[in-house]
Structure 1
Amino acid sequence: MDFSPPPGGDGKLDRGQREQLMQQVQAQMAMANAQELLQKLSEKCFAKCISKPGTSLDSSEQKCIAMCMDRYMDTWNLVAKSYTQRLQKEKSRMG
């Protein structure tokens, strides 16, 4: 991704360029969050549920992984929702 100013310009971005840049940054942040979620979910649930790694999961490991992932996603979503609400509250106070 190129963040350099347009050629021949004064280094300032017009409104459209700023909006495009913000969308690109938001997309990259969303991707980074998704990657972090998957990494943490894998690490935590693997450590909790897999006692003897092998070529397949037995039924208790499969059930543990499914429940762990569900709980982790529920928690992640709750935290994200609370964080978003807090940001909106702060934004309304400032604006």
Structure 2
Amino acid sequence: MSAMDAFDQNPSEKAETSELKRMIAVEQQKAQFQAQVHHFTDVCWDKCVDSPGSKLDYRTETCLVNCVERFIDTTLAITNRFTQIVQKGAH
């Protein structure tokens, strides 16, 4: 859609376009979250699981929990740091 098209839209069409953009953004966030989950699943699986069995032993379960928690902690720390940088740049 060009800039001129935006002027040609009535308020109802503008609202629909805005809602569609919001829905696309939400779906992109969901896809990004799923990609992250798949990534840390792969990383933690490779790190913690020696040989898959019918049940996780205590060591493997503990390793997986710690791996996922560290991955989440790291992701949050990086996200917070980027937020701080962006906020400092906005001032």
TM-score (norm 2): 0.74
- Write the distance in 2 (CA, Å) between the matches of 1:87 and 1:58: 44
1:38-53 pair list within 5 angstroms: 38-53=37-52
Deviations 1:52-89, CA, capped at 9 Å, x for gaps: 11111100001000000100011111222233344445
1:17–1:86 CA distance, 2 compared to 1 (3 A): farther
Structure 2: 5+ residue stretches without partners: none
- The answer to which of 10-19 and 39-48 deviates more is 10-19
Q: SS where residue 55 of structure 1 aligns?
A: coil
- Paired residues, number: 84
Deviations 1:3-34, CA, capped at 9 Å, x for gaps: xx8xxxx9645431332122112101110111
Runs of 4+ in 1 over 6 A off after TM superposition: none
Higher relative contact order (CA 8 A, sep 6+): 2
Aligned CA RMSD, in angstroms, stands at 2.3
Query: Per residue, is there more helix in 1 or in 2?
Result: 2
The residue aligned with 1:22 is 21
The residue aligned with 1:80 is 79
